[in-house]
Amino acid sequence: MYPVNQAYEKKAEGIIIFNIAEFSNVLLCDYMAELSWNPKLKFERFLEYYAKRRYNRGSWRAMIECYKLIEKASRDIFVYGLASWVDPLLNLEKVLEEDLERCVSLCEESLSKALEVYDLERDNELYRSELLELKLIVYKLKAMLHLKRAMKTRCENTRLFNKHLSECIGWLKKALRELEGDARFSISSTREWIKQVSGADISVYDEASKVHKGFITCPENLRELIGRIESLRRLEGKDKPTKSSL
């Protein structure tokens, strides 16, 4: 949310919202839509309106606290962004482990807040979508935390290096299980749907999906990332990995 405010303040020419983001980043998409009509709308004011519109009287206050924690976590753009980039190794060295731990903690707290109202909102499809998003954020950031720890031990302790890689892969697979079989998040399924739309230019979607391939919102991209990280495993007793091998 914080970067969106910055973009509007700096008079960005435009912002692209991929169709998949409608289901994987609901709060941000809604806020961006509101800003299109009211560029001066502050996030705090929007948040109350958003929560009251979507949740029961007994839930919306807890959800506001949930969103505030996520917004706080997202202020560290490099750290929070690790939940999205399909090539995290390009950015992971720029991130401090303690900052990543802090971000994970905030996101876990946010998820806990959302789960407090599960019994009240379990039949609310809007709630289920946002709960899924929160889970994915936590799972992917925890994966990146273990990947960061693996990088720290890559030249000293092969066993510990592999252990952290396994933890990383485990969290990514947990995220993948949340998305498997859900056509809303699939680039290929969405492409097939667009091909059936009269007058749709599939080449535009193909160009956009090339950009979107840099993000791990989709099962296709998660599987690719898991495969790349699995390839980093080393046999114990082999030569120590060099920095360039990562």
Q: What pLDDT does 244 receive?
A: 46
Closest by Cα among 16, 29, 137, 30 to 81: 137
> Which residue carries 């690790």 as its tokens?
82
In this structure, of 23-27, 140-144, 179-183, the range with the lowest mean pLDDT score is 23-27
**Whole-number Å distance between alpha carbons of 35 and 18:** 17
For residue 90, what are its two tokens?
A: 């390009």
Per-residue model confidence as pLDDT tens digits over 155-202: 888 999 999 999 999 999 999 998 886 666 666 666 676 777 777 777
Q: What pLDDT does 29 receive?
A: 78
Helix (H, G, I), strand (E, B) or coil at 85: strand
Domain ranges of the chain: 2-238
At 90, the amino acid letter reads L
In terms of C-beta density within 10 A (0-12 exposed, 13-18 middle, 19 or more buried), how is residue 107 classed?
Answer: buried
Query: 89 pLDDT exceeds 80?
Result: no
Q: What pLDDT does 79 receive?
A: 86
Per-residue model confidence as pLDDT tens digits over 40-86: 888 889 999 999 999 998 999 999 999 999 989 988 877 887 777 65
DSSP one-letter string for 201-241:
-HHHHHHHHHHHTTBS-SHHHHHHHHHHHHTT---TTSPPP
Q: What pLDDT does 104 receive?
A: 96
Alpha-helix residue ranges (DSSP H) falling in the chain = 2-9, 21-24, 26-37, 43-54, 60-74, 77-80, 89-92, 97-115, 118-121, 125-153, 158-179, 187-195, 202-212, 219-230
Q: Write the CA distances from 201 to 18, 21, 123, 195, integer angstroms.
A: 15, 20, 37, 8
